[in-house]
Chains A and B, each alone.
Chain A
Amino acid sequence: MQRVGVFVCWCGSNIAGTVDVQAVSEALKNEPGVVFSTNYQYMCSQAGQDMIKNAVKEHRLTGIVVCSCSPRMHEATFRKTAAAAGINPYMVEIANIREQCSWVHKDMLTGTEKAIILGKAAVAKVNLNTPLIPGESPVTKRALVIGGGIAGIQTALDIADAGFPVDIVEKQPTIGGKMAQLDKTFPTLDCAACILTPKMVDVAQNENIRIFSYSEVTEVKGFVGNFDVTIKKKARFVNEDICTGCGACVEKCPMKKVPNEFNLGMDNRHAIYIPFAQAVPKVATIDPNACNMLKNGKCGLCARVCAAGAIDYKQKDQFIEEKYGAIVVATGFNPISMEKFDEYAYSQSKDVITSLEFERLTNAAGPSAGKLIRPSDGKHPHTIVFVQCVGSRCESCAEKGKEYCSKICCMYTAKHAMLTRDKYPDTEVYVFYIDVRTPGKNFDEFYRRAVEEYGVKYVKGMVGKIVPEGDKLKVQASDLIANRQLHIDADLVVLAAAIEPDKSARPLATMLTASMDTNDFFTEAHPKLRPVESPTAGVFLSGACQGPKDIPETVSQAGAAAAKVIGLLAKDKLMGNPCVAQSDELMCNGCSTCANVCPYGAISYEDKEFRMPDRTTKIRRVAAVNPAVCQGCGACTVACPSGAMDLKGFANSQIMAEVDAICK
């Protein structure tokens, strides 16, 4: 049996004005377990707290009920008081008789009556309280960044600059991501390579950063502060440590007809290749699907010309196991496939291209060396039609497009249109749009310049159909403002394809037990207040994996994620919230229902041996809650049919006791 002390606060006249505090402390004296009951003007004051401490000593109290203001106000205060008096801080319960009683009820009689009932409920609960001790777990001071685009690069640099080691896992042979493929960036029009490649070099040179390129995460175990991650380093058949990136092998490679994915298949590369000149790491990679030597053992030219002797046809996939304290997801995005958009003739005509292909076409390092040409005949296009929102904001076409706004297309289309008019003033440029959305610093000014200074023809309305005819593309569209149909003979059509999360994100989310929305974007812990954290403790989000983002936004989010990681890694130990779920394994069925509802992936299962009454043993699957990961929501406790799962601090019996006390 507990020895409970009740302390009723007047809060000056805030409580005492509408609640007869004397009557409350008298009434609660008779409750089970109560050995001491008093009231005082300001319980939270030093004198009030001393009163509690003295009473604990004098009456050997094991539990404390304070009838006062909201626990959101002073629960922490009174817990500290209890701890100072030598009892467990979680043996304190607060009856909120100010915000939820004296302040909302005008009548002394009803106020007092209700205050007594709330006090009784708190006493009933505290009688069932047990001392709780927060768990501690160590922190591995190393971070993992998954994805080596601008988001991953920035996060890694920021973490590394704070002095913590970081590993970047990138599935491509080089870091750089989508930004490396871009030509210029809005709204300042500086070249993407000029601002990105120095950062890539910084990454390569930073002593705290390791790059696992051409690699993937295959398994994640553990929890915040203590993740065990397996990384698969795919065989690139070139010894990274020796390769100097001289490119001699590439020149000699006879397999020259492999579609170049870096240029989106608009030109070819060799079977052994370095994606682009500024690649980091600047190391060659052999494409096993194209290399003759790997396919049928006939060739071996690259090995012969490699002065460093870096070619290794026998190289195998390598699995690396490493421990991390924090994981940052920066898996980025891809434009959606245009195959299903038959109305725009993407599959029929080479001159209907996506915006990302347009970036490569205008990039000096691209397939046309920066000359804007038609992919079909290499001629200069005179009329260009840009179509916005292809697959974005597409409520009616869920099977091929996306419901959401891809956010970046308005701005890059304005950029494309502006750059075209700037370089080739003889070109006529049309942009078809639903709305032009330019919320960002200097964005609207940028768009207006495209219209006003560069004479880009913006037409509100959608393109209905594009039909290739001769060397022209017949564009049928509607102008909603003029309310008429337009027919344009275009030389080139550029589709602003919607963007979607990278396909690797979904399996990764499963491994991390991080939640995703229906579009496969990672969900943040709180949409406003914790935008760079995943609900899964220790997993952070950077860049477009969380939602469509432009570069400035991605970089700021990357920095924010890094700050959160640094905050975590700076700690030596993590103190958990002791009010976590706990499963009674004798009652647990091991049915996995609780794990289904856990938003944090805190529940795992193990086969456990039980001794039966008849001295036999039985092996059963039972749930185990990781207290370092559990946040204490209690979803599992209700999902559990057997009642094996309970929540410390808000146990079934405690809440039931409160219900009983109130309904007595």
Chain B
Amino acid sequence: MQVNEYKPLIVAFCCNWCSYAGADLAGNNRLAYPADVKIIRVPCSCRVNPMFILRAFQRGADGVIICGCHPGDCHYTSGNYYTRRRMAALFSMLDFLGIERERTRVEWVSAAEGAKFAATMNDFAQKVAALGENKRLEDLRCKK
């Protein structure tokens, strides 16, 4: 198997008000990013339960990214502030368990930042692809 043939599977959770609209704008402007990125729409980034992220990894995702409104711009005023704390704690925990830190990311993308959305996804997909397949979260059982 050649490394460059490997296609990572990336799940992107996007808040309805900013980042999902930012992704739409990237589409409107025809700004390409890898088709490996699949977007799930949530009302707010604070709707993303760590369970969803782990479930994605469990089922074979290679990277999970959460996009929300910029801090201070949340449609629900404070949702993304909770996201920020929860994900900081969760990501740090995943890192503690030895899971590659490049597999998870939080990025703030506004409805006007179509270009940032595309650039973020390009960069994230590239970093995740460089790590290769997610084996650690998928296959953790000690197999001797």
Asked if A and B form a direct contact in the complex, defined as CB atoms under 8 angstroms apart, the reply is yes
A-side interface residues toward B, CB under 8 Å? 70-73, 96, 98-101, 103-107, 110-111, 113-114, 117-118, 121, 515, 523, 525-527, 535, 579, 597, 599, 631-635, 637-639, 647, 650, 652, 655-656, 658-660, 662-664
List A contacts of B27 (CB < 8 A).
70, 98-100, 103-104
Contact present for A662 and B75 (CB under 8 Å): no
Q: Given A597-B82, A634-B46, A662-B11, are A103 and B28 also a contact pair (CB < 8 Å)?
A: yes
| Given A638-B82, A656-B55, A117 and B38 contact (CB-CB distance below 8 Å) | yes
What is the CA–CA distance of A515 and B77 in the complex, to the nearest angstrom? Answer: 9
Bound Cα distance from A257 to B78, whole angstroms? 50
- A631 to B46 alpha-carbon distance, docked (Å): 13
Contacts of B56 in A (CB 8 A): 659, 662-663
Which residues in B have their C-beta under 8 angstroms from that of A659? 11, 40, 52, 55-56, 59, 61
Can you list 5 A-B contacts (CB < 8 A)? A71-B41, A101-B35, A631-B76, A650-B43, A659-B52
Q: CB < 8 Å: which of A72, A96, A663 contacts B61?
A: A663
Encoded as 1 (CB less than 8 Å from any A CB) or 0, chain B from 22 to 33 comes to: 011011101111
**Do A638 and B47 touch (CB < 8 A)?**
yes
Query: In this assembly, does B124 line the interface, its C-beta being within 8 Å of a C-beta of chain A?
Result: no
**Chain B residues close to A by CB (< 8 Å):** 9, 11, 16, 20-21, 23-24, 26-28, 30-33, 35, 38-44, 46-52, 55-56, 59-61, 72-73, 75-79, 82, 86, 118
Given A110-B35, A632-B43, A662-B11, answer yes or no on A599-B79 (Cβ-Cβ < 8 Å): yes
Q: How far is the CB of B35 from chain A (nearest CB, A)?
A: 4
Whether B47 lies near A96 (C-beta < 8 A) is no
Main SS class of interface, B: mixed
Q: A105-B35, A114-B38 are in contact. Are A633 and B76 (CB under 8 A)?
A: yes
B24/A100 in contact, CB under 8 A:
yes
CB distance from B61 to the nearest CB of A (A): 5
Q: A634 and B43: CB pair below 8 A?
A: yes
Q: Which 7 A-B pairs have the closest CB atoms?
A: A99-B27, A634-B47, A663-B59, A633-B76, A103-B27, A99-B24, A110-B35
State how many angstroms separate the Cβ of A160 from the closest Cβ of chain B: 30
Query: Which residues of chain A are within 8 angstroms of B30 by Cβ–Cβ distance?
Result: 103-104
Query: Are A633 and B40 CB-contacts (below 8 A) given A70-B27, A99-B23?
Result: no
Q: Which residues of chain B come closer than 8 Å to A655, judged between CB atoms?
A: 40, 42, 47, 49, 52
B40 x A121 contact (CB < 8 A): yes
Nearest B-chain residue to A647, judged by Cβ? B47
A525 near B48 with CB under 8 A, answer no
Query: How far apart are the CA atoms of A590 and B118 in the complex, in Å?
Result: 43
Task: Report yes or no: A635 in contact with B82, Cβ–Cβ below 8 A.
Answer: yes
Min CB distance B117 to A, Å, is 10
CB of B24 to closest CB in A, whole Å? 4
Minimal beta-carbon separation of A263 from chain B (angstroms): 40
Contact call B11/A634, Cβ cutoff below 8 A: no
CA distance A387 to B85 in the complex (A): 42
Q: How far is the CB of B113 from chain A (nearest CB, A)?
A: 14
Given known contacts A515-B78, A632-B43, A655-B52, A663 and B118 CB-to-CB distance under 8 angstroms:
no
Give the residues in chain B near A111, CB-CB below 8 Å.
35
Q: Which of B9, B41, B78 neighbours the largest number of chain A CB atoms within 10 Å of its CB? A: B41
CB-based contact A633/B35 at 8 Å: no
Residue of A nearest to B62 (CB): A663
Residues of B within 8 A of A639 (CB): 82
CA distance A66 to B36 in the complex (A): 22
Which of B28, B47, B73 contacts A633, CB < 8 Å? B47
Which residue from A99, A104, A114 sits with its C-beta under 8 Å from B32?
A104
- CA of A251 to CA of B24 in the docked complex: distance in angstroms? 73
Q: How far apart sit A652 and B50, CA to CA, in the bound complex (Å)?
A: 11
Q: A72 and B46: CB pair below 8 A?
A: no
Nearest A residue to B14, CB-CB: A100
User: In the complex the two chains form, is B49's CB within 8 Å of A72's CB?
Assistant: no
A100-B23 in contact (CB<8A): yes
Residues of A within 8 A of B82 (CB): 597, 635, 638-639
Contact call B43/A527, Cβ cutoff below 8 A: no
Q: A99-B28, A103-B27 are in contact. Are A663 and B75 (CB under 8 A)?
A: no
Contact: B118 with A104, CB < 8 Å?
yes
Q: Which residue of chain B has the shortest Cβ distance to A664 in the bound complex?
A: B59
Having A638-B86, A652-B51, A655-B47, one finds 19 other A-B pairs with CB under 8 Å, namely A96-B39, A99-B24, A99-B26, A104-B33, A114-B38, A118-B38, A121-B38, A526-B75, A527-B73, A597-B78, A633-B47, A633-B79, A634-B43, A635-B78, A638-B47, A638-B48, A660-B59, A663-B56, A664-B59
User: What residue in chain B is nearest A107 (Cβ atoms)?
Assistant: B35
The chain A residue sitting closest to B56, CB to CB, is A659
Could you say which residues of chain B place their CB within 8 Å of the CB of A525?
77
